[in-house]
């Protein structure tokens, strides 16, 4: 796929940003493409609760790549 010079320039500048800045810019681009999405209050509350559980040590997280690998292995049998 051939990219326009403008897209190549944006990509080059994007790569110079910190990961936090990249995430912020990505979110802005997504809002431009997909529009503003209303947050689901139940989802937000659930995420806050789960983050609090992890931060308090009540639960421990697992590496997503390990989990995905286990799922692939389970379903490839």
pLDDT tens, residue by residue, 22-54:
999 999 999 898 887 778 889 989 999 999 999
b/e burial code for range 49-68 (CB count within 10 A of at least 16 → b): eeeeeeeeeeeeeeeeeeee
Are 74 and 67 a contacting pair, CB within 8 Å?
no
| Predicted pLDDT at 40 | 87
Which of 9-13, 39-43, 54-58 has the least mean pLDDT? Answer: 39-43
DSSP character at residue 57? T
pTM of the model: 0.45
The pLDDT confidence band at residue 2, using thresholds 50, 70 and 90, is confident
> Cα(35)–Cα(31) distance, rounded to whole angstroms?
5
């Amino acid at each position: 796929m051939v990219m326009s010079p403008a897209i190549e320039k944006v990509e080059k500048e994007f790569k110079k940003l910190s990961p936090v800045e990249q995430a912020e810019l990505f979110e802005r681009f997504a809002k431009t493409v997909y529009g503003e999405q209303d947050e689901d209050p139940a989802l937000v509350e659930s995420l806050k609760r789960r983050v609090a559980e992890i931060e308090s040590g009540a639960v421990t997280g697992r590496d997503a790549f390990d989990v995905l690998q286990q799922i692939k292995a389970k379903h490839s049998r």
